[in-house]
C-alpha cells in the first residue's frame, strides 16, 4: 500500500449525537489540529472517543475528501466544512472500504480497520436532506489503534 495522505485531522472534546436520541444535539466543535497522538487501544488524545469503551472499534475514524466533495456536489452544499461529518482523519486517494478487516499503517502508526463508519440520520440534519443516503457505503472507516505514535496533517492549521 502506498503512503496515505492525511489532509485534515479533527478532534472534539465531546459527543454531539451519541446518546442524544430524542433530544437536541450538543454543540461540541470539531477542532482541526496539525497532528494528534494515537494511543494504542485507547484512541486519539483529546478526542471524545479516547477511552470511550474497552477495545472500542472506532478509536479513530477516517473519511475520504473525495467522498465529501462528491456529497457537496450531489446535494449542492455550499460553505459546509469537512468537519461537519464528525470524522477524525481525512484522506485522499485511498479506498477506505478496502481497509475493512485489515491491518494498515499511516505515518508509522498501525491501525486495524474494523468496519465502515456508517452514516446516521443526524447527517441529514447536519449536512442536508439526503446526506445519510448518499454516504451509505462511503461513510468512512472506523479503526482500532494498534501502536502508539503521532500522525500529522498536510494542512496549514492556525495556532489556537
Q: So what's the pLDDT on residue 2?
A: 64
Residue 160 lies in a domain: no
Residue 157 lies in a domain: no
Q: Which domain holds residue 118?
A: 5-152
As given in the structure block, the three cell numbers for residue 7 are 489532509
pTM: 0.89
Distance, in Å, from the CA atom of 109 to the CA atom of 106, rounded to the nearest integer, reads 5
For residue 142, give the CATH number of its domain: 2.40.33.20
Min mean pLDDT across 23-27, 93-97, 98-102, 145-149 is at 23-27
* Three-class secondary structure of residue 97 per DSSP: helix
Q: How many domains does the chain have?
A: 1
Mean pLDDT value across residues 121-126: 77
With cut-offs at 50, 70 and 90, classify the pLDDT of residue 87: very high
As given in the structure block, the three cell numbers for residue 119 are 452514516
Give percent above pLDDT 70 in the chain.
Answer: 86
- For the CA atoms of 58, 10, 130, 143, what is the dihedral angle to 10 degrees? -20
Could you give the strand order of the β-sheet that contains 31-32, starting from the edge strand earlier in sequence?
A: 31-32, 5-11, 89-92, 60-64, 141-145, 109-116, 103-106
pLDDT mean across residues, the chain: 87
- Asked whether the predicted pLDDT for residue 157 surpasses 80, the reply is no
- Asked whether the predicted pLDDT for residue 82 surpasses 80, the reply is yes
Q: Which residues, 6 or more positions from 135, have their beta carbon under 8 angstroms from its beta carbon?
A: 67, 71, 85, 119, 123
Read off the pLDDT of residues 9-40 as tens digits, 9 standing for 90 and up.
999 985 555 554 566 655 667 889 999 999 99
Q: So what's the pLDDT on residue 47?
A: 94
Q: So what's the pLDDT on residue 120?
A: 77
Amino acid at each position: 500500500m502506498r503512503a496515505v495522505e492525511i489532509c485534515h485531522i479533527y478532534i472534539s472534546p465531546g459527543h454531539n449525537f451519541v446518546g442524544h436520541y430524542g433530544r437536541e444535539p450538543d454543540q461540541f466543535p470539531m477542532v482541526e489540529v496539525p497532528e494528534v497522538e494515537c494511543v494504542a487501544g485507547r484512541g486519539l488524545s483529546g478526542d471524545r472517543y479516547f477511552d470511550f469503551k474497552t477495545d472500542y472499534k472506532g478509536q479513530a475514524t477516517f473519511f475520504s475528501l473525495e467522498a465529501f466533495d462528491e456529497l457537496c456536489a450531489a446535494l449542492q452544499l455550499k460553505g459546509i466544512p469537512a468537519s461537519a461529518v464528525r470524522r477524525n482523519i481525512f484522506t485522499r486517494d485511498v479506498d477506505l472500504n478496502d481497509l475493512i478487516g485489515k491491518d494498515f499503517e499511516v505515518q508509522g502508526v498501525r491501525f486495524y480497520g474494523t468496519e465502515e463508519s456508517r452514516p446516521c440520520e443526524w447527517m441529514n440534519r447536519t449536512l442536508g436532506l439526503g446526506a445519510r443516503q448518499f454516504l451509505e457505503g462511503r461513510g468512512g472507516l472506523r479503526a482500532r489503534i494498534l501502536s502508539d505514535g503521532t500522525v500529522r496533517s498536510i494542512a496549514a492549521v492556525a495556532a489556537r
